[in-house]
């Protein structure tokens, strides 16, 4: 009995041991599942706890969480970190894109700033252009004014006095076979006088070929001076005519450049046809400066039946030669040198009385003062009725000529009165 009990107990022990061993094996097999379930429960709890503020967690919980995260990082390795970094980068990019989409105020501010910058640049550019344009216009205006007025102040009409009129005409010159421009200054009250039948004397003004006919009006201020002299009664009204003779050198002679001597006569005939003029020599005087002064002497002496007088401002008395007196025209130099042929005019000057005025500057060297005085004596000896001279401070330029224009205008007016009175003093 005892032995049978021992055997039964032994079998029961073996069975218990076997059951314990089986339970241990099942526990070992179920351990990974329980561990995974436990980790998942812990992860859910951690996620739930992560929504809470870190300061509210228990110290042991924070320790467990930190330990678990450390272990997971070590277990997962670098690939998981890279995936997490990629997710973080994607979240950052999406956040940036969202910032651009969700902040239109910043875009508006950026556009306003760019527009303001563009406006500032445009304003600076316009200001620079305005300064440049103003500078260019100022330079052009200065050069233009100097060309027109030669640096002299503009002569203006006095207020309250009658004014004349500047007229531009075109005539056909048979001598030059071309159409030419003529500048005319009509004295105050010309049109009312012409309608009443009044006929006016004419002063013909020749300029140097390098000058413009407008120089007498712009640089010399001829128009306002005529108005003042007429208004004050210092001279009777007359017409001033300025033929265009600018261009290549022609010396107002019949030579290589053309028949400019005949051109002057074409102008005289055209003016007599178009305007109310005295149509004989008593109502005509020719004048000029420099080359025009020489031309006034030469044309006046060549056509004593056309002109009753001449004025020469810094003119010369012997043709120096050169162009236009070249080639076959060299033989015409003597016939166009007044000092060489004046003595042969003795008979004509006695039949056709002449009045002449010549002046020059004391700093002019060609011709000299002796040349002018010699020619004046020869002209008187040949029969010139009135021959006057002047010798003034100045060079061969407008600083010499401009101050004496009023005197020359008055002198021409006296010459017209002298001729009208029968060439008597």
For residues 263 and 173, the answer to whether their CB atoms sit within 8 Å is yes
Query: pLDDT tens digits for 48-79?
Result: 454 444 444 554 555 455 555 555 555 555 54
What is the C-alpha to C-alpha distance for residues 358 and 300, in angstroms, rounded to an integer? 13
For residues 293 and 313, the answer to whether their CB atoms sit within 8 Å is yes
Q: Is the pLDDT of residue 90 over 80?
A: no
pLDDT at 70: 52
Query: pLDDT tens digits for 315-343?
Result: 999 999 999 999 999 999 999 999 999 99
DSSP state of 220: S
Which is more confidently placed, 413 or 34? 413
Distance of CA 377 to the CA centre of its chain: 53
Residue range 284-293: average pLDDT?
98
Ranges 34-38, 213-217, 290-294: which has the least confidence: 34-38
Burial class (CB in 10 A: 0-12, 13-18, 19+), 149: middle
pLDDT at 76: 53
Q: Provide, for the chain, the percentages of residues in helix, strand and coil under a 3-state DSSP scheme, each rounded to the nearest 5.
A: 60, 15, 25
SS3 143: helix
Torsion of CA 357, 358, 359, 364, to 10 degrees: 170
**At 92, is the pLDDT very low, low, confident or very high (cuts 50, 70, 90)?**
very low
pLDDT at 131: 79
**At 349, is the pLDDT very low, low, confident or very high (cuts 50, 70, 90)?**
very high
Query: pLDDT tens digits for 195-240?
Result: 999 999 999 999 999 999 999 999 999 999 999 999 999 999 999 9
pLDDT at 61: 54
Angle at the Cα of 397 from the Cα atoms of 306 and 166, rounded to 5 degrees = 55
Q: Is the pLDDT of residue 95 over 60?
A: no
pLDDT at 239: 98
What is the C-alpha to C-alpha distance for residues 129 and 397, in angstroms, rounded to an integer? 39
pLDDT at 67: 53
Taking residue 144's Cβ as centre, other Cβ atoms within 10 Å add up to 11
What is the C-alpha to C-alpha distance for residues 220 and 405, in angstroms, rounded to an integer? 7
What is the C-alpha to C-alpha distance for residues 9 and 16, in angstroms, rounded to an integer? 10
**At 129, is the pLDDT very low, low, confident or very high (cuts 50, 70, 90)?**
confident
Residue range 171-180: average pLDDT?
96
Q: Which of 243, 230, 309, 302 is nearest to 270 (CA)?
A: 243
pLDDT at 25: 57
For residues 285 and 311, the answer to whether their CB atoms sit within 8 Å is yes
For residues 321 and 330, the answer to whether their CB atoms sit within 8 Å is yes
pLDDT at 216: 96
pLDDT at 6: 45
Handedness of CA 169, 172, 173, 177 (dihedral sign): positive
For residues 252 and 267, the answer to whether their CB atoms sit within 8 Å is no
What is the C-alpha to C-alpha distance for residues 155 and 158, in angstroms, rounded to an integer? 9
pLDDT at 226: 97
Q: State the chain's mean pLDDT as an integer.
A: 83
The alpha-carbon radius of gyration of the chain (Å, integer) is 57
Put residue 321 in one of left, alpha, beta given phi > 0 → left and psi -120 to 50 → alpha: left
What is the C-alpha to C-alpha distance for residues 341 and 230, in angstroms, rounded to an integer? 38
pLDDT at 32: 55
**At 120, is the pLDDT very low, low, confident or very high (cuts 50, 70, 90)?**
confident
pLDDT at 41: 60
For residues 199 and 248, the answer to whether their CB atoms sit within 8 Å is no
Residue range 227-255: average pLDDT?
95
Q: Is the pLDDT of residue 355 over 90?
A: yes
Q: Is the pLDDT of residue 7 over 50?
A: no
- The 10 Å CB-count burial string (b at 16+, else e) for 94-133 is eeeeeeeeeeeeeeeeeeeeeeeeeeeeeeeeeeeeeeee
**At 81, is the pLDDT very low, low, confident or very high (cuts 50, 70, 90)?**
very low
Residue range 132-139: average pLDDT?
66
What is the C-alpha to C-alpha distance for residues 339 and 317, in angstroms, rounded to an integer? 5
């Amino acid at each position: 009995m005892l032995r049978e009990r021992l055997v039964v107990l032994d079998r029961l022990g073996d069975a218990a041991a076997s059951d314990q061993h089986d339970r241990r094996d099942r526990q070992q097999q179920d351990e990974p599942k329980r561990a995974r379930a436990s980790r998942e429960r812990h992860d859910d709890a951690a996620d739930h706890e992560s929504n809470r503020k870190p300061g509210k967690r228990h110290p042991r919980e924070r320790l467990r969480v930190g330990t678990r995260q450390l272990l997971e990082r070590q277990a997962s390795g670098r690939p998981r970190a890279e995936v997490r970094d990629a997710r973080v980068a994607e979240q950052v990019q999406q956040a940036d894109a969202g910032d651009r989409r969700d902040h239109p105020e910043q875009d508006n501010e950026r556009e306003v700033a760019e527009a303001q910058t563009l406006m500032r640049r445009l304003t600076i550019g316009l200001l620079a252009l305005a300064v440049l344009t103003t500078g260019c216009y100022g330079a052009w205006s200065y050069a233009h004014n100097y060309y027109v007025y030669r640096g002299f102040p503009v002569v203006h009409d006095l207020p309250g006095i009658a004014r004349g009129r500047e007229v531009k005409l075109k005539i056909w010159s048979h001598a030059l076979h071309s159409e030419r421009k003529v500048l005319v200054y009509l004295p105050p009250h010309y049109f009312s006088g012409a309608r009443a039948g009044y006929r006016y004397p004419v002063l013909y003004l020749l300029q140097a070929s390098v000058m413009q006919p407008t120089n007498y009006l712009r640089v010399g201020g001829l128009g306002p001076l005529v108005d003042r002299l007429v208004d004050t009664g210092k001279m009777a009204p007359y017409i001033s005519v300025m033929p265009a003779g600018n261009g290549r050198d022609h010396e107002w002679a019949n030579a290589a450049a053309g028949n400019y001597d005949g051109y002057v006569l074409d102008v005289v005939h055209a003016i007599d046809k178009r305007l109310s003029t005295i149509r004989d020599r008593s109502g005509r005087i020719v004048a000029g400066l420099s080359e025009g002064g020489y031309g006034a002497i030469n044309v006046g002496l060549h056509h004593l039946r056309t002109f009753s007088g001449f004025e020469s401002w810094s003119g010369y008395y012997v043709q120096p030669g050169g162009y236009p007196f070249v080639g076959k025209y060299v033989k015409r130099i003597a016939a166009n040198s007044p000092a060489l042929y004046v003595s042969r005019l003795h008979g004509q000057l006695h039949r056709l009385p002449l009045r002449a005025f010549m002046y020059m500057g004391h700093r002019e060297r060609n011709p000299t003062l002796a040349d002018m005085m010699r020619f004046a004596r020869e002209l008187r000896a040949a029969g010139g009725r009135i021959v006057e001279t002047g010798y003034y401070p100045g060079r061969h330029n407008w600083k010499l000529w401009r101050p004496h224009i009023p005197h020359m205008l008055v002198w021409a007016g006296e010459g017209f009165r002298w001729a009208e009175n029968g060439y008597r003093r």
